[in-house]
Amino acid sequence: MNLLVVGGSGFIGSRLAARLCALGHNVLVPTRHYESAKHLLVLPTAAIAEADVHDEAELARLMRDQDAVVNLVGILKGGEGEPYGAGFARAHVELPQKIARAAQRAGVPRLLHMSALQAHARAPSGYLRSKAAGEAAAFAVAPSLAVTVFRPSVVFGRGDAFLTLFARLLKFLPAMPLACPQALFQPVWVADVAAAFAASLTRHESFGRAYDLCGPRRYTLRELVAYAGRVSGHARPLLGLPTTLSYLQA
Ligand X SMILES: NC(=O)c1ccc[n+]([C@@H]2O[C@H](COP(=O)([O-])OP(=O)(O)OC[C@H]3O[C@@H](n4cnc5c(N)ncnc54)[C@H](OP(=O)(O)O)[C@@H]3O)[C@@H](O)[C@H]2O)c1
Nearest to ligand X of 37, 146 (CB atom): 37
Nearer to ligand X, 112 or 155 (CB): 155
What Rg value do the Cα atoms of the chain yield, rounded?
A: 19
Q: By CB under 6 A, is residue 196 in contact with ligand X? A: no
Question: What is the biggest distance separating any 2 CA atoms in the chain, rounded to whole angstroms?
Answer: 57
Binding mask 57-86 for ligand X (x = CB under 6 A): ---------------xxxx-----------
Tell me: does residue 112 bind ligand X (CB under 6 A): no
157 binds ligand X (CB under 6 A): no
Q: Does 210 bind ligand X (CB under 6 A)?
A: no
Applying CB under 6 A, the span of 101-109, 148-156, 172-180, 241-249 interacting with ligand X comes to: 148-156
N- to C-terminal Cα separation, the chain: 44
For residue 17, state whether it binds ligand X (rule: CB under 6 A): no
Instruction: Classify each residue of 43-75 as buried b or exposed e, where b means 16 or more C-beta atoms within 10 Å of its C-beta.
Output: bebbebeebebeeeebbeebbeebebbbbbbbe
Q: Does 12 bind ligand X (CB under 6 A)?
A: yes
Euclidean distance between CA atoms 219 and 202, whole angstroms: 33
Looking at residues 32 to 61 of the shown chain, list those that interact with ligand X (rule: CB under 6 A).
32, 36-37, 53
Residue 200 engages ligand X in binding (rule: CB under 6 A)? no
Q: Applying CB under 6 A, which of residues 4, 40, 114, 178 lies at the interface with ligand X?
A: 114
- Please spell the DSSP secondary structure of 28-92, one letter per residue: EEEESSGGGTGGGGGSTTEEEEE--TTSHHHHHHHHTT-SEEEE----S-----SSS-HHHIIII
Applying CB under 6 A, the residues found at the interface with ligand X are 7, 9-13, 31-32, 36-37, 53, 72-75, 91, 114, 116, 152, 154-155
